[in-house]
Amino acid sequence: MQSFLRACLAISLLSAPATAADIELWHAHQARAFIEQVVEKFTEETGVTVKITPFAPAKVKGELLLGAASGLTPDVILVPSDFLGLHQELKLTQVDADWNDSSLLDSAKQTTIISERQYGIPVIQGNHLMLYYNKAFVDSPATSWKELAKQQEELNQKGLKAIGWNYGEMYWFAPFLGAFDGWPMAGDKVTLNSPAMIKALNFYKQLSDRDIVPKWCDYDCAQKQFIAGEFAYSINGDWAYSDFRKELGDNLGLSVLPTIDGQPLQPMSSSFALAFPRMQKDSETADMLKSLSLFFQKEQSQLHIYHEFKLLPVNGKVFEQVRKNAIGDEKVILDQLALTKAMPSEPAMAITWEALAKGYKRFMDHGYTAERAAKYMQSLADRELKKYQGK
Amino acid sequence: MFKVRSLLALVIVVVTVIPSASISYLLLQQQYKANDASLQKSLDRALDNTVQDMDFKFSIFSTNFNLFSRERFLIQALDSFLFSSHAFTAMKDFVEQTPLVSSIYLLDRELLIVEEFQGSIAGLEDSELMKRLQRAVEEGHVKDGRQLLFQFRDPRMTNTGKNESGPSEYGIAVLMPLYLHVLQEGVTREVEGYILSVIPFNQVYGVINNHLQEGEALEIIQGQRPIAASPQADELRKQHDHQMAIKNLEIGANLTENALNYTLFLHVKRSTRLAQLAEAQQTLTGSIIVALVISMLIAYLLARLIGRPFNLLSSVLEQYKAGNYVAPTQRFRFMEFEQVRQLIAGMGDTITRQLRTLQDKNRELLHLGELKDDYLSKLTSLNEQLEQRVDEKTKELRVSLSREERSKRFMQSLLKLSIELQQCENNMEVTELSLQLLCELFPDEKLALYFAPSRYQNAFFVTEGIKSTEQLNVRDELEQFTSRKISELPKTIDLHHEHFYLFHLGSVSNQFLGALVVQSGQLDNEHQNNFRLFAKQISAIVENRQLTDELEVMARTDELTGLPNRKAFEEAVEEFRVIHERYPERHYGLFVVDANGLKLANDRYGHQAGDGLLKELGELMLNTCRKSDSVYRLGGDEFALLVQEGTLKGCELLMDRLVQEQGRHAIEVTEEGKRSEYVISFSIGFASTEEFPPNRLFKIADERMYDQKQTYYRMKNLSRQRSESNNDS
């Protein structure tokens, strides 16, 4: 079967125009090199060419939705698993069970299943936030926000800012909600108007009021400015690890996120999955895409991705091997993973994210109290969900 | 009192300048009136331009806003807020590219805010404007493709985005409906939502303000209500030279569903504006000033021509008053002035001649006075020279006398030293006395005196005024000169940056005996000679003392054995006796030792053998007794031994040790060419003060020795007889 597939691919390659790629792949993962390297190997082995288009992470959802609405979609997208909840809007095609590698972790597979149907193939997991710090400025990383606040004064005297992250982005807000026992969704219900949300909003705001984190911080604080030595700490995802290690070398420190009065922050975890908009089953392209999916999942690729980029594998054998041998930063990545909660992949999650962001904006910039903002988020999400379900 | 020429000059200036100044004033008045008219026209024109620019900018906004309302992202965001980020980006771009707009809102059909950029959500939701918007929607005033304008007052909505603060809290909200599709005109359909732009009056004021010049202020008034005003407007209104222009501003008109009307007031301070318009006036004023200056110059030259003769005559009179009788040579143009000039010149000549005669007389008197002064000065100088020579001679005599005095004192000291040194008993006294005298003679010098060690005296080194570290260095240096010839030694030495003069003490054979040391940077010849004389004197005494010491030692030493002789023995016995008398418990002993067979050795082997025997016996006794004991040769074959702590037991022990040495020592002798050994034998007798009084000791010891000698010879004879009988038998 394998050799037959290769023969088919070779024939199709010979008949294809020399300039056009066989497959087009869109993604918004920061560690784009891991995709490029795996794809390059794939091309070497199969002869199938892939055109890769990287998008800005903040824009990719809108671009995909617009593309899908206007019929301009690539063959395959590599997206966080919660995007699969929009399978209807993104026109994603269901995949069969034989697209999964035999060693694929069931937990990873579950992130791609919506209403008992699988809409994507996971290639990496984790995708969770962690606390990075610069050892040139910090001897011992803060384990709580109180400790970080104490270190802030000393860091400011050295002309440094304490910590930076993408402050206005809700993916970074979610761990604080988790620390107060809150979560945006419970099952398929939106749970934004909760006491936990009110506490989390107030706590989050006072961090910028006290200038522990600048209110204007965007993703540059967590990435470029942290590398430039302007910030002592950064909260960023596992996807940033390889870049940080390359830039900061031995000065890079990694730790689990600081606690709030002993309660650990609960970042979201998910997988990054390959998904296939408007795929014609039993087509030549579908064969190539299946081949690409299996290539990403196989042990050799998974090991390469982990060793080079410290992105956690979805291959069960590889993951077990990693878990057993983990030391130093690798162990911290796994420790933080243990404190995460899986990001819901329900269709309603996409709406919940937007409602959360709009309520947050009203709270931070437009004088809403936390109670009013939480109420607004909930009502907005309920209304939009109703509208969505009515379509 | 007036001067004629001043009065004349004043009259000329008045007649020339006043008519010119009057004409100039009239011209300038005319120019001012023309400028006023020009200023008003300029203000009106500026307002016209301002209103036209505002109309133009609003029309651009209105057109863009109309186009923007057809943006697909807005409709998509209203349909699903998953697209709202695209709508947000589009709204952000619109606001950034439209100068008049500060914020924008996307509203759904219930007028709920879906998205906004730089707006105030709470501000709009709670505002009076929102109620008016709702009323307008309900009453059907919002029409397809038409923009509806609302004036509102709410700083929350106007002080955002591009203008943080400004002179106005008013703004214009422009509302436009959004539809899913563009249909043919006249066809009604359901509205999807609304887009609302906010134009704050601060922005409007900013556009208008760009047309204002410095010192101008603007007010935007609606009816009686001020909408926006420059803070300077009120102040300018109160100025006495305030000028104003008025113009109507209509926002909207044909472009929008409704229009908003305002009145613009432009205020200016006339003087400020006129200053800008005054170029022409400045030319005129400049010309007038030039004309006035020329007429004043002419007046001045005329006054100078007439006033000059008066001025000249006046100055001649002033000079005559001061004694200068030179009349002006230049002739006047006017005859009357010329006659006066000639008269004054004649008078001046007469006075000058008389003065010259008086000056000659004075000059002669002065010359005589100078001659007298010169003579007196020479006399004084001669006196001073004489006094100076007398002083110099006196000083020379004093110096010579002082030197003689010093020399005399020195010679006396030298003599005294010579006498006193003779009386010194040892070198220590010599050094101390010499140094004491030297210090008295040379109190300012640092001195040292060194005597080299001799056979009978240790080295001596005494100093005065030299530091201890330097003392050590000097002594070390001098110790190296011992046994050397003086001629080989240096006269000065430098040690650690200090300079020392050395005056050596030498023997007749030029041998180094010591040195007189003077620590000094520089010594004059007289001092050096004096120290040298002292050194010679001390040398003689030291050498003399050494010779005396040597003679004394020789008198108390046995020449053959080098042991102390009988004289030394007798002195020692007396000394022991005196000590024993004072301390009776301190006993001493006396041994008398006599060599056996000395005569035989002399007769048989020669005197050399006898001398050898005595020397060997002396050595034997020295080696056998204690260091504290003393061995003497009393003469011939007789020796004595004085034993300190010589109790009876102590003497017996020494006796035993001496007896043990009997027969153990021999000297080598030669008889008829044959070499053989001659065994040393001696007889001993001793006595201790523990048994006998001191005055009997020698006698007892001598008797005991004699007893033993007799025994020896008896034994020897007996032995010889046995030997002969053995031979006979």
B85 chain-A contacts, CB cut-off 8 A: 58-59, 61-62
Q: What is the pLDDT of residues A97-123, one digit of tens each?
A: 999 999 999 989 999 998 889 999 999
Which SS3 state, helix, strand or coil, does residue B664 take? coil
Identify the pLDDT of residue B182. Answer: 60
Q: Is A62 in contact with B81 (Cβ distance < 8 A)?
A: no
> What residues 95-154 of chain A have any CB closer than 8 A to a CB of chain B?
none
Q: Are A13 and A22 in contact (CB under 8 A)?
A: yes
Residue of chain B nearest A372, judged by CA positions: B122
Identify the pLDDT of residue B276. Answer: 63
Q: How far does the CA of residue A275 sit from the closest CA of chain B (Å)? A: 19
B513 and B570: one domain? no
Q: Is A62 in contact with B120 (Cβ distance < 8 A)?
A: no
Q: Identify the band that residue B729 occupies on the pLDDT scale cut at 50, 70 and 90.
A: low
Q: Which domain holds residue B591?
A: 566-728
Longest dimension (CA), chain B: 199
Chain B contact probe: residue of A87, A352, A354, A382 with most B CBs at under 10 A: A354
Q: Identify the band that residue B405 occupies on the pLDDT scale cut at 50, 70 and 90.
A: confident
A350 chain-B contacts, CB cut-off 8 A: 82
Phi, psi of A66 (to 5 degrees): -65, -45
Eight-state DSSP code of residue A339: T
Q: Residue B133 corresponds to which amino acid? A: L
In a domain, B369, yes or no: no
Which SS3 state, helix, strand or coil, does residue A73 take? coil
> What residues 43-82 of chain A have any CB closer than 8 A to a CB of chain B?
58-59, 61-62, 65-66, 69
- Nearest residue, CB atoms, B120 vs list A86, A351, A366: A366
> What residues 216-255 of chain A have any CB closer than 8 A to a CB of chain B?
none
- Nearest residue, CB atoms, A350 vs list B76, B82, B121: B82
Q: Are B637 and B705 in contact (CB under 8 A)?
A: no
Q: Is A65 in contact with B83 (Cβ distance < 8 A)?
A: yes
Out of B500, B523, B555, a domain closes at: B555
Identify the pLDDT of residue B141. Answer: 86
Q: Please tell me the distance from the alpha carbon of residue B654 to that of residue B626, in angstroms, as a whole number.
A: 9
Q: Identify the band that residue A9 occupies on the pLDDT scale cut at 50, 70 and 90.
A: very low
Chain A contact probe: residue of B74, B78, B121 with most A CBs at under 10 A: B121
The answer, yes or no, to whether residue A16 has pLDDT greater than 60, is no
Identify the pLDDT of residue B187. Answer: 58
* Complete DSSP assignment for B160-212: STT-SS-S--EEEEEEEEE-SS---TT------EEEEEEEEHHHHHHHHHTTP
Q: Which of left, alpha, beta for A26 (phi over 0: left; psi -120 to 50: alpha)?
A: beta
B659 and B683: one domain? yes
Q: Identify the band that residue B533 occupies on the pLDDT scale cut at 50, 70 and 90.
A: confident
B427 and B538: one domain? yes
In a domain, B516, yes or no: yes
A386 in B contact zone (CB under 8 Å): no
* Beta bridge mates, B562: none
Q: How far does the CA of residue B126 sit from the closest CA of chain A (Å)? A: 12
Q: What is the pLDDT of residues B701-713, one digit of tens each?
A: 999 999 999 988 8
B127 chain-A contacts, CB cut-off 8 A: none
Starting at the edge strand that comes first in sequence, how are the strands of the sheet with B498-506 ordered?
B460-464, B446-451, B512-519, B498-506, B492-495
- Nearest residue, CB atoms, A354 vs list B76, B84, B123: B84
Eight-state DSSP code of residue B332: P
Q: Is B85 in contact with A368 (Cβ distance < 8 A)?
A: no
Identify the pLDDT of residue B572. Answer: 92
The Cα-based distances of A217 to A214, A356, B84 in angstroms read 6, 18, 22
- DSSP alpha helix (H) spans, B228-278: 233-237, 270-277
Q: How far does the CA of residue A280 sit from the closest CA of chain B (Å)? A: 27
Q: How far does the CA of residue A141 sit from the closest CA of chain B (Å)? A: 36
B551 and B570: one domain? no
In a domain, B718, yes or no: yes
B622 and B493: one domain? no
Identify the pLDDT of residue B165. Answer: 56
Q: Is B82 in contact with A61 (Cβ distance < 8 A)?
A: yes
B574 and B600: one domain? yes
CB atoms within 10 A of CB B727: 7
Q: Within 13 Å, how many C-alpha atoms sit on residue A257's CB side?
A: 29
Phi, psi of A106 (to 5 degrees): -65, -35
Q: How far does the CA of residue A366 sit from the closest CA of chain B (Å)? A: 6
Which helix (H) or strand (E) segment holds residue B631: the answer is strand B630-635
B522 and B596: one domain? no
B117 chain-A contacts, CB cut-off 8 A: none
Lowest pLDDT segment from A154-163, A222-231, A302-311, B183-192: B183-192
Q: Identify the band that residue B317 occupies on the pLDDT scale cut at 50, 70 and 90.
A: confident
In a domain, B395, yes or no: no
In chain B, the number of structural domains is 2
Identify the pLDDT of residue A1. Answer: 36
Q: Residue B159 corresponds to which amino acid? A: N
Interface residue ranges in chain B relative to chain A, Cβ cutoff 8 Å: 76, 80-86, 120-123
Lowest pLDDT segment from A65-69, A85-89, B315-319: B315-319
Q: What is the pLDDT of residues B11-64, one digit of tens each?
A: 777 777 777 777 778 877 777 777 777 778 888 888 888 888 888 888 889 989
Q: Is B86 in contact with A66 (Cβ distance < 8 A)?
A: yes
Q: Is A62 in contact with B86 (Cβ distance < 8 A)?
A: yes
Q: What is the mean predicted confidence (pLDDT) over B462-475?
A: 87
How much of chain A is helix, strand and coil, in % rounded to 5?
50, 20, 30
| Residue showing tokens 């895409």 | A289
Q: Which of A159-168, A339-348, B327-336 has the highest mean pLDDT?
A: A159-168
Give the CATH number, domain containing residue B426: 3.30.450.40
B536 and B574: one domain? no
Angle at B627 between CA B621 and CA B630, to 5 degrees: 55
B72 chain-A contacts, CB cut-off 8 A: none
Residue of chain B nearest A64, judged by CA positions: B83
B486 and B551: one domain? yes
Q: How far does the CA of residue B227 sit from the closest CA of chain A (Å)? A: 26
Q: What is the mean predicted confidence (pLDDT) over B94-105?
A: 90
Q: How far does the CA of residue B83 sit from the closest CA of chain A (Å)? A: 6
Q: Are B521 and B499 in contact (CB under 8 A)?
A: yes
Residue of chain A nearest B118, judged by CA positions: A365
Identify the pLDDT of residue B186. Answer: 58
* Percent residues over pLDDT 90 in chain B: 18
Identify the pLDDT of residue B162. Answer: 52
Out of B555, B589, B610, a domain closes at: B555
CB atoms within 10 A of CB B360: 8
Mean pLDDT of chain B: 84
Q: Which two tokens stand for residue A341?
A: 């909660």
Identify the pLDDT of residue B511. Answer: 85
- Assembly ipTM: 0.77
Q: What is the mean predicted confidence (pLDDT) over B219-237?
A: 84
In a domain, B136, yes or no: no
B82 chain-A contacts, CB cut-off 8 A: 61-62, 65, 86, 89, 350-351, 354
Out of B508, B533, B555, a domain closes at: B555
Identify the pLDDT of residue B301. Answer: 81
Q: How far is CA B467 from the centre of its chain?
A: 34
* Complete DSSP assignment for B459-518: -EEEEES--HHHHHHHHHHHHTTTT-BGGGS-SEEEETTEEEEEEEEE-TT-BEEEEEEE
The answer, yes or no, to whether residue A15 has pLDDT greater than 70, is no
B647 and B551: one domain? no
Stated pTM of the model: 0.55
More confident residue, A128 or B495: A128
Mean pLDDT of chain A: 90
Which SS3 state, helix, strand or coil, does residue B82 take? helix
B83 chain-A contacts, CB cut-off 8 A: 62, 65-66
Eight-state DSSP code of residue A238: G
Q: Please tell me the distance from the alpha carbon of residue A146 to that of residue A150, in angstroms, as a whole number.
A: 6
- DSSP alpha helix (H) spans, B69-150: 72-79, 84-97, 121-125, 128-138
Length of chain B: 729
More confident residue, B235 or A36: A36
> What residues 345-384 of chain A have any CB closer than 8 A to a CB of chain B?
350-351, 354, 358, 361-362, 365-368, 380, 384
- Nearest residue, CB atoms, B122 vs list A61, A354, A368: A368
B603 and B722: one domain? yes
Q: What is the mean predicted confidence (pLDDT) over A19-32?
A: 84
Q: How far does the CA of residue B242 sit from the closest CA of chain A (Å)? A: 45
Identify the pLDDT of residue B150. Answer: 93
- A&B contacts, CB < 8 Å: 41
Lowest pLDDT segment from A175-189, A270-284, B480-494, B612-626: B480-494
Q: Is A366 in contact with B122 (Cβ distance < 8 A)?
A: yes
Burial of B583 (0-12, 13-18, 19+ CB in 10 A): exposed
Q: What is the mean predicted confidence (pLDDT) over A200-221?
A: 95
- DSSP alpha helix (H) spans, chain A: 2-15, 32-46, 60-69, 106-110, 145-157, 170-179, 195-209, 219-222, 224-227, 241-248, 284-297, 299-309, 316-325, 329-338, 347-365, 370-390
B689 and B582: one domain? yes
A299 in B contact zone (CB under 8 Å): no
Identify the pLDDT of residue A17. Answer: 40
Q: Identify the band that residue B573 occupies on the pLDDT scale cut at 50, 70 and 90.
A: very high
- Nearest residue, CB atoms, B82 vs list A65, A362, A367: A65
In a domain, B341, yes or no: no
More confident residue, B15 or A7: B15
Q: Please tell me the distance from the alpha carbon of residue B167 to that of residue B692, in angstroms, as a whole number.
A: 146
Give the CATH number, domain containing residue B675: 3.30.70.270
Eight-state DSSP code of residue B111: -
Q: What is the pLDDT of residues A38-77, one digit of tens each?
A: 999 999 999 999 999 998 887 788 888 888 888 888 999 9
Chain A contact probe: residue of B80, B88, B103, B108 with most A CBs at under 10 A: B80
Q: Is A367 in contact with B82 (Cβ distance < 8 A)?
A: no
Length of chain A: 391
In a domain, B626, yes or no: yes
In a domain, B484, yes or no: yes
A66 chain-B contacts, CB cut-off 8 A: 76, 83, 86
Q: What is the pLDDT of residues A268-326, one digit of tens each?
A: 999 999 999 989 888 899 999 999 999 999 999 999 999 999 899 999 999 999 999 88
Q: Which of A7-16, B437-446, B590-599 has the highest mean pLDDT?
A: B590-599
The answer, yes or no, to whether residue B434 has pLDDT greater than 70, is yes
B120 chain-A contacts, CB cut-off 8 A: 366
Q: What is the mean predicted confidence (pLDDT) over B122-146?
A: 88
